[in-house]
Chains A and B, each alone.
Chain A
Amino acid sequence: MNLDSSKKIVGDCISEITDGQVVPVDDLNLIGKDACLDSMKLVELCLALEDKAAEYGFEFDWTSEAAMSRSQSLFRTLNSLSKEFYAQSQLKQ
């Protein structure tokens, strides 16, 4: 996995949970003002990424103290979440 494929995975998950209503672009806001997802969809996104991570042989942990305390930055945009997803894939392989 590289950062681009990570972005593709996150983008695909966003498309899937929003039934294609949201077009995934790098600076897509996931939380805060102008967020494309409500809090429930954000949870669904995390669960979808957990599943994807399992397919790639690692665990995507969004419930750790570190991840949760950085949630404002972690979930800020598609790009930031993709970076975290990629980073965790590298850590746990």
Chain B
Amino acid sequence: MILVTGASRGLGRSVAVRLANKGQEVLGLSRTCSDLPFQNVSCDVSDYAAVKAVAQDLKKGGKEITGFINAAGIASMNLALTTPPSVTQKLIQTNLMGTIYCCQLFAPLMIRRKFGSIINFSTIAVTLGLKGESIYSASKAGVEGFSRAFAREMADFNIRVNCLAPGPIKTDLLKGVRDEQIEAIVSRQVIPKIFLADDVCDLCEFLLGQQSQSISGQVLNVGGA
């Protein structure tokens, strides 16, 4: 089984649908369950107790977890000076703490079988240092730092941990971002084009699969940075 957080929309949904269509058993986690073409449970990843409850249910069910994709995330495009503390707190709590909680609580399900691949979503904004994304970038930079160290902690258990850092990809997360802003970011990528959710799905499949067994502790910037 492969777990996908943030599975009700955006890239999380795209990845979960792709994997389900390829015949993988997928369990999606999201704050709001909706009509999705894969199993899903309601879970706010920023709530440690809620994540723990899901992990306990999975353990009781004896499910073999081979992959875990941490795609849950929120964005807020604002200058740091005009971002209210409540928004800052929410960004860090969901993007960084949510990732940490899920890794802490789901990795033991993989450790038992000494096999697995974890993909934590970051953003190309971390490397590019984009104006208006300082706090969002900070939360994701935390994810990258955590993932690099966590990869080393998990290596002895044959579990790989990597980050995928997409640039602008047309999802709900980009609502409210002007086209010219998107173009400005894309122009700074090594490959200056807007990639599709399908491209991210391809990379997820690669990182979950055996073909990437030599890759851990890395950040893959989609489009290059």
Contact = CB atoms under 8 A, between A and B. Distances in A.
Interface stretch (B20-28, B67-75, B103-111, B194-202): B103-111
Contacts of A40: 153, 156-157
Contacts, number: 19
Interface residues of B, number: 12
Contacts of A43: 108, 111, 157
Majority DSSP secondary structure for residues of B touching A: helix
Interface in A40-60: 40, 43-44, 46-47, 50, 59
A27 B47 CA distance: 37
A69 interface: no
Interface in B20-73: 48, 52, 56, 59
Contacts of B156: 40
Majority DSSP secondary structure for residues of A touching B: helix
B111 A63 contact: no
B150 to A, nearest CB: 13
Interface in A16-54: 39-40, 43-44, 46-47, 50
Contact of A47 (B48, B108, B153): B108
B112 interface: yes
Interface of B: 48, 52, 56, 59, 104-105, 108, 111-112, 153, 156-157
Interface of A: 39-40, 43-44, 46-47, 50, 59, 63, 65
